[in-house]
Chains A and B, each alone.
Chain A
Amino acid sequence: MICGLLEPSQGQILYRGQRIDSDRIAHKQRLGYVPEEPQLYPHLTGSEYLEMVGQLRGLQERQLTEKVDGFLRLFWLYEDRYVPLSSYSKGMRQRVLLAAALLHNPEIVLLDEPFSGLDVNSALVFRNLIRELAARGKVILFSSHELETVERVCSHVVILHKGRVVANDSIEQLRALMSLPTLEEIVSQLAIEQDTEGIAQQIVQLIEA
C-alpha cells in the first residue's frame, strides 16, 4: 500500500501531512523499494536491469551510466555486470534490488527483509548504509522478522499482530516499559500466542508416526 501496489480497503497513508494517493506519481518519484522476494527479469543482465530502472525513473543517460557503474562497483557486481540475472545468487540479486531502489536518490526507502540472502560482508555494509541514509534525513521503513537486525538498525519499531499495531515506540522505551532485555522477548510477549515448544513436540510426534 505504501508503494502503491495495493489499494487500501480503508484508512489513509500520509506523508508530510499529504495523502500519498493525492499525487501517486510524485509519491513514486520519492520512493525506493526493495521487495521481500527478489523478483527480477532473469533474461536481463545486472547492468541492463539497473539501466532500465533508471530510464523508467527518467534519469538522463550520462548520470545514469555513472550511477549504474558506481553502484555495480560498490555492490561487488561490476565483474558480473554482463551476466544474466538468472545466474546471480540470491545475495547478488538482493544487491541489485538495493541498487535499483537507491538509484534515483529517494526520500523514502522501503526495505522488506533486505538482508535476506546477503553475505556477512554485504550485510555489514548495508547496515551502515541504512544508518548513513537515516542520518541524512531519509525515511527508512524497514520490515523484518530478524529481530536482532531490527534491534541494531532501527530507532523506532512498530509491532504488528494480526493486522493491528500492538506496539509503536523506540526500542529503548519499549524495553523500559516492558522490563524485558531484548526485542525478541518483547515480541514474544506481545504477539506470540502459541505454545511454541508444544507445537515443536507435536511436529516431531507426527514425523515419527
Chain B
Amino acid sequence: MPDERRQFRILYRNFLFRILDLELLSASGEIRNLLVQLVAMLAAFNFVVAVLYIPRYATSILSHQQLLIAAWGDEEFLIASTIAIAGLFTVLAWNAPLPDRRDNFVLGALPVRTRTIFVAKIAALATALGISVAAINSFTGLFYPFVVTPPQGSALRSLFAYWVTMTAAGLFVLCTLLAVQGVSALLLSYRLSLRLSSFLQLAAFFAVLGVYLLTPALATAPALTASANQRLIAWLPSFSFLALFQQLNGTTHPVFGPLAGRALWSLGLSVSAAIATYPLAYYRNARRMIEQPDILPGDRSHRATRVGRFIAAKCFSKPVERAVFLFTVRTIARSRQHRLLLAGYGGAGLAIALAYAKSFLYGYPHEPWGQPSEPLLIGSLVVLSFVVIGMRAVFALPVALRANWIFRIAAVDRPAAYFAAVRKSFFMITAVPVWIVSAALYFSIWPGRPALEHMIVLVLMGLLLAETALHQFRKIPFACSYLPGSANLKLRLGIYGILFLFSADLGVQIELWTMQKLARFLVLSVILFAGAIVANRQAAGFAAAPYSRVQFEELPPADVLALDLRPDGVWSREEA
C-alpha cells in the first residue's frame, strides 16, 4: 500500500490550488497568480482600513474607557468584513468541498482511500479559509488589539480575543454554508441537488453581500439595548461575534453576555450541522456521481428557450446577429461560472444601490419616495454601470474554448458584422433590461416629467457606458482564450467601477440640479448625447478599419515592440 501521508500531501497541494471554481482559467500558473492577487487585494483593503483607524485612535481626546466604547462600531465593521470575506470565499469555492467527477474518475482508479481524499479536501479548504481570514485582518490584527486592551486586561489576551473571534466568525459562515450544501445533497436526488446547488450558490452570494452592505450602524450601547432593535440584532452575526470579542477581551458590559452566548450557540450549531451532514453528503455524492451523469440530460424545449428565440427573431434582422445573441444568452443562462461572475457584479451594484436607499429600507426616510432624490436616482445608475462592467468582464471569459473553431470556420461575414452583432447583443442583455425595470419603477413612483428626464439620462448613460466598455473589443463572447494575468483586466474594471461610484455621486447631484429647469436639462442631455455619438462613431470606425479581425487568441503584450512594416494591403501576422 502506498504511503498515505505522501498521498495526502500531494492531494492537499493539488486541492489547495484548485480551491476556487475557476475551470475556465486555462493554466495552473494563472490560478496561482489569481489567488495571490486576491490575497493581496484583501490585505490592501485591510491596510487602507488600518491607515484610516490608526490616526483616529492616536489623536483621540477620549478617555481610554470612552475609547473602548467608541470602538465598538469599528470592531463590528472588522468582524462583518471578515464574515463577508469568509462567505464570499465559500461561495467562490462552492464546488470544492464536495467530490468532483473528474477527481473520482482519476483517483478512483488509483489506490487512494476516499478518507484520504476527503481529509485532503477539508485541509485545503481550512487552509484557504485561514489565509483569507488572515489576509483580511493582516494589518488591523496586529495593531487593533493593543488599542482596545481594557485597563484591567493584557494586550496578549486582546490579541488572542481578536484572532479567536475572527476565526470563529469565518468558521461560522463556512460551516453554515457547508451545512446548507450538505442538507441539500442528503435530502435531494443527485440531479436535483446539482440543479439546486447553483441557485443556492447565487442565493448565498446575495445573502452575504446584502447582509454586509445593508447592516445598520447599531454598535452603540443605546442601539444595542433598544428593544426595537433586538430582533434585527439577533439575526445579524456580526453583532453576536462583536459580543464574543468583548467577552473574551474582558469587557463586562451587560449587553454583551446574551449576545456572546448567541454567538457560541450559533457557532456550535453550524459546526455540528456541518459535521453531521457534510461527510455523509460527500460519501453519498462520491458514489452517485459515478452512476449518474454530471450534467442533466434535461429537456430544453421549455418556454424560456422559445422566448429567447422569439426575441432574437424580432429584434435581430441578420442571421449572424441572431447567432451571437442566442449563443450569448444561452451561455450566460447555462454556465455556472459566467452566471456567478455576472451575479457578482450585478449583486454588488444592487447592494450598493440598496445601501444608498438604506434610510428607505429601515422605514425612516429623509426624502419622500414620490420625488426625485439622490438615493433613488443613483440606484439605477449604479446598477446599470455594474451590469455593463460585469457583462464586459463575463464576455472575456471563454466557455469550452476548444469548440471555438466553429466560429473560425463559419466566419463568412466581414468582421464588422460580428462586431455589430456583439454590440447589439450587449445592449440587449445589459442596458435594455435595466432600462425597462427602471422605467417601470420611476414612472410608477414619480410624476411623468422627472421620470422621463431620468430615463433619458439613463438611456444616454447606458449607450455611453456600453460603447466605452466595448471599446476596441474584437472578440465573439466566450470564444477567445483567456491569457494568464488578464485577471488584471477584471481588477482594473473593478477599480474603474469604484471610481465611477464616486463620480456617480457627483453626477447625480448635477442631474438633480438640471432637473429643476428644462433648459439645464436640455444642456445635460445634449452633452450626453454628443458623448454617445462620439463613442458610437469611434466603434464604427474601429470595426470598419481594414486591419480589424475577430480575435480568438488573447496575445501577451510584446516584450519587444515590432515596427511591423509591410507593403500596403498585406496583413501582419497578428492581424491575420
Q: How far is the CB of B338 from chain A (nearest CB, A)?
A: 10
Question: Which residues of A lie under 8 Å from residue B513 when comparing CB positions?
Answer: none
**Cα A87 to Cα B409 with chains together (Å):** 24
- Measured CA separation A56–B335 after assembly (Å): 22
| Contact indicator B405/A39 (Cβ below 8 Å) | yes
B306 CB, min distance to chain A CBs, angstroms: 11
Q: Is the CB of A56 within 8 A of B300?
A: no
Chain A hits for B296, CB < 8 A: 84, 87
B322, B323, B330, B412: which has the most chain A beta carbons within 10 Å?
B412
Whether A57 contacts B410 by the Cβ 8 Å rule is yes
Question: Across the interface, which residues of B come within 8 angstroms of A100, CB to CB?
Answer: 406
A87 touching B295 in the complex, CB below 8 Å, given contacts A31-B409, A43-B334 = yes
Per-residue interface assignment for chain B, residues 390 to 403, with 1 indicating a CB less than 8 Å from any chain A CB and 0 otherwise: 00000000011011
Beta-carbon contact of A5 and B576 below 8 Å: no
Select B320's contact among A5, A35, A58, A61, beta carbons within 8 Å: A58
Select from chain B the residue with minimum beta-carbon distance to A87: B297
User: Which one, A31, A45, A56, contacts B406 given CB within 8 A?
Assistant: A56
Give which listed residue, A37, A43, A56, contacts B402 with CB less than 8 A: A37
Say yes or no: is B301 at the interface (Cβ < 8 Å to chain A). yes
Interface residues of A (CB under 8 A from B): 3-5, 7, 25, 28-29, 31, 33, 35, 37, 39-45, 48, 51-61, 64, 82-84, 86-87, 100
Give chain B residues whose Cβ lies under 8 Å from the Cβ of A37.
402
**What are 29 sample pairs from A and B whose C-beta atoms fall under 8 A apart?**
A4-B408, A5-B408, A25-B412, A31-B409, A33-B409, A37-B402, A41-B331, A42-B403, A43-B330, A43-B331, A44-B330, A45-B300, A52-B326, A52-B406, A53-B410, A54-B319, A55-B322, A55-B323, A56-B320, A56-B407, A56-B412, A64-B319, A82-B299, A83-B298, A84-B297, A84-B298, A84-B300, A84-B334, A100-B406
- With A52-B326, A58-B320, A84-B298 in contact, do A43 and B411 touch (Cβ < 8 Å)? no
B115 adjacent to chain A (CB < 8 Å): no
B313 in the interface, Cβ–Cβ < 8 Å? yes
Given the known A-B contacts A5-B405, A55-B320, A82-B300, are A28 and B399 also in contact in the complex, defined by CB atoms under 8 Å?
no
A74 to B407, CA, bound (A): 25
Q: Which residues of the partner chain A approach B335 to less than 8 Å between Cβ atoms?
A: 43
Kindly name the residue among A3, A48, A60 whose own CB sees the greatest number of chain B CB atoms within 10 A: A48
Query: How far does the alpha carbon of A7 sit from the alpha carbon of B575 in the complex, in Å?
Result: 12
State in angstroms the CA–CA spacing of A154 and B387 once bound together.
Answer: 55
Decide: A56 and B301 in contact? CB cutoff 8 A: no
Q: Chain B residues near A54 (CB, 8 Å)?
A: 319
* B327 CB contacts on chain A under 8 angstroms: 41, 44, 52
User: Can you list, as one digit per residue, whether each of B405-426 has a CB less than 8 Å from chain A (1) or not (0)?
Assistant: 1111111111000000000000
Given the known interface contacts A56-B410, A84-B297, A87-B293, the answer about A48 and B320 at a Cβ–Cβ threshold of 8 Å is no
Selected from A7, A28, A39, A61, the residue in CB contact (under 8 A) with B411 is A28
A189–chain B nearest beta-carbon distance, Å: 35
Q: Give Cα A31 to B335, complex, Å.
A: 31
Residue of B nearest to A38 (CB): B403
B295 near A86: Cβ-Cβ < 8 Å: yes
Residues of A within 8 A of B405 (CB): 5, 35, 39
The residue in chain B whose Cβ has the minimal distance to the Cβ of A81 is B301
Among B110-166, those with CB < 8 Å from A are: none
Most buried by A among B299, B409, B411: B409
With A and B bound together, what is the CA distance between A28 and B414 in angstroms?
12
Name the distance in Å between B303's Cβ and chain A's nearest Cβ: 13
Residue in A closest to B297 when the chains form the complex, CB atoms: A87
Chain B residue contacts of A52, Cβ below 8 A: 323, 326-327, 406
